[in-house]
Amino acid sequence: MARYTDRHAASGVRDALPKLETWPSQHSSDYEIVITIPEFTSICPKTGLPDFATLTVTYVPDRRCVELKSLKKYVNAYRSLGIFNENVVNRVLGDLVRALRPRRMAVRGAFAPRGGIQTTVEARFPRAEAGVAGATGAAGVTSPRVSRRRSPAGSSRRSEGGGRPKAR
């Protein structure tokens, strides 16, 4: 089998897609919108086989909301686009952030198993690097937030050796 190339990795990241349309939010207080896309399809750029997923977009709008018919056209354009799962989720997030400028947003792709492996990819806005104030997030937007990372054992009550709770 041929090796993965930079061309495979970049496939679909900059291809033209239908424009996302927006409409003005009528509410100034925080409220959350959850959009579920259960029949998302794209193409693996390496194998040419289809990838199936449920995409979930969760966001708190600021001034704009996405118009759902335009989102449907945008999402359906991926059906013929060769793009890796990780790039799908990050591209959808970036395109929606550029169109909406939301207060917060997360995009989650739960991809159907292929070859016995199931992949779930999640990307969030604003993004921040641990310990780096003013990190640049999706769509080049700067965020002063600093994310917290969990300990390697998954809980502050667990030791790094063996994963057993610490004696008190």
Active site residues: 44, 51
Please give the Cα distance from 11 to 5 (Å, whole number): 10
**What is the C-alpha to C-alpha distance for residues 87 and 12, in angstroms, rounded to an integer?**
8
Q: Tokens for 42?
A: 């794209």
Question: 88-123 as b/e, with b when 16 or more CB fall inside 10 Å?
Answer: bbbbbbbbbbebbbbeebbbbbbbeeeeeeebebeb
HEC per residue, 36-57: EEEEEEEECCCCCCEEEEEEEE
Sorted by sequence, the CB contacts under 8 Å of residue 50 that are 6+ apart come out as: 41, 42, 43, 44
